[in-house]
Structure 1
């Protein structure tokens, strides 16, 4: 007798038509497709779900989904809402930029509370909000006594007395970051605070940008799964970042390339999960390791799938989608024994 499979919707925002009415950046589409297809392959292998995937009409459909729904220009939200009504589970992959992930999370949580509503396979509203807002993230990390870097509001920088105080800080270089940015997107490097202030004055950028001291060190991340304020570490990764014209881009990742930091990353993972009790499923955390001071600074908390997922299956020798689903859906979740292979992922 054939068992009826539950329906699962996978929505990777960039390739899924989220910017169907805008030019499609090739690099973002490529990175998004890598994450989407890695997840779809892992889900399909489980043979538990009938998988539907949204795709931008300008892009080809994924060969790993059972059903693909094309999203026409300007019709993402309409198509997404319709698909949400026709599925049992939804797995989002979306950037924090412009509140995109937060907005889609709200839609999913609103659908979840309805009778027979689809279940979101991801973080709750509060964890997503903290992950979206760099200011809230800084405050949460500081409260938990986790090393992080201070953030200075763009609006405050325009106040001369505040700016004068800032120039007295012992900071060699500065970065400007969007309040709700994702990864390297929108980050710019400046030699002086004055040139940063002049830049954020343009086009009222001070309203959604902040200043942060530029921290040198090993650029890294770790992947974990969370539930009920607990965390289980999956991998310790080194990120290889390229700088060009005072901007940054992610060139490659060595998944599990920083295993010497396993114990310290595991401690950080548990501390972060404790301050984000509704963090659920996969979470990625970006850090910078200052080897001179022997400190690890937490830079970003990403309440979603991250690029490291692409190499995670090969690295840990286990299906990471199964781990994530078990963590979300099983109250007595236990992490299986994982391998720690170093896997290189290239995005260029």
Structure 2
């Protein structure tokens, strides 16, 4: 089987000028770690050929040892993406939701007709919009932070509950996300340059649940703790998997309800949560849904005794699998160190 594994930051996506001229920052760090790890796991499987795109400007030894088509400008990137999608047996996409990037790449691959082993544009269209996601989940009784949209150049409302979190309506990671502890902070912030969601801040344990999805099985992986910076920027530092069993099962039950409320998923989906102090889950809330591989994969692949990529392919392809896990927890950083 030939798999086209595409990661936007390392694969030349920014050659068109979006997200800046040169890939950098947390999205590049995490994207590099994810694509290198998944490519390594896929390449270890018999009968699997992994094809990648690589931005000629990216210099990272983890990528240089992987077979890839090198792209140097936007035209080369577009042409290579179409060509490699068309000759592959399946496509796996990793890209930020911001500026419609993941949705655009998915629609391009779907238009070519290649089998997708990552979430469809139908799901991405819903969950890439943080405000729409919250509305869909709230409508079926799933707890989410109360929030509102703030248009570009509008002042932040002062009649909402602070502390609050301000984040892009369409965003990835914690880019442009910040904590506003009080009304004075909102006044100092002024007006956003893009449409933002202002939502109530919920204290608690930052957690995530990753799920392998397919037509016959939805496999909830062990929940993990997210390590987040304490400076109000919510910068992702890494994580620890698994959570204590009782808390972890609580997180998995909530994640399962989330996926029940959304269009069917294929491949890997990550769900971010806040788990409150109430042991019955009365203070838990869902923050967002990531329709793609997430950085939690870096820890989960070490925790799993099986090849996690093989299990992802099997579930996406319609098989049912059972995973085996190590007893010792795994701590990992955003750049892939464990």
Pick closer, same or farther for the CA change 1:340–1:17 going to 2, 3 Å.
farther
CA distance in 2, matches of 1:306, 1:147: 22
Shift of 1:304: 0.6
Whose Rg is larger?
1
SS of the counterpart of 1:43? helix
Q: How does 1:1-348 map to 2 (within 5 A)?
A: 6-20=1-15, 21=17, 22-60=21-59, 62=63, 65=66, 67-75=67-75, 76-112=77-113, 118-155=114-151, 158=154, 163=157, 167=159, 169=160, 171-193=161-183, 195-196=185-186, 199=189, 201-203=191-193, 205=194, 208-228=195-215, 231-244=218-231, 246-291=232-277, 294-330=282-318, 332-339=319-326, 341-347=328-334
Shift of 1:178: 0.3
Structure 2: runs of 5+ lacking an equivalent: none
CA distance in 1, matches of 2:328, 2:32: 23
Q: Deviations over 1:53-111 (max 9, x none)?
A: 1111012472563x311121334333212221222211111111111111111111111
SS of the counterpart of 1:239? strand
TM-score normalised according to structure 1 size: 0.85
Q: Deviations over 1:146-200 (max 9, x none)?
A: 111122010399499xx4xx61x5x231221100111211102223346436635
Alpha carbons 2:27, 2:173 under 8 Å: kept: no
Give the total of aligned pairs: 326
CA distance in 2, matches of 1:119, 1:200: 46
CA distance in 2, matches of 1:137, 1:111: 28
CA distance in 1, matches of 2:272, 2:312: 19
SS of the counterpart of 2:208? strand
Pick closer, same or farther for the CA change 1:335–1:273 going to 2, 3 Å.
farther
CA distance in 2, matches of 1:43, 1:347: 20
Alpha carbons 2:273, 2:287 under 8 Å: kept: yes
Pick closer, same or farther for the CA change 1:86–1:104 going to 2, 3 Å.
same
Output the aligned Cα RMSD. 2.5
SS of the counterpart of 1:224? strand
CA distance in 1, matches of 2:119, 2:330: 27
TM-score normalised according to structure 2 size: 0.88
Structure 1: runs of 5+ lacking an equivalent: 1-5, 113-117
Q: Which of structure 1's runs of 4+ aligned residues deviate more than 4 A?
A: 156-160
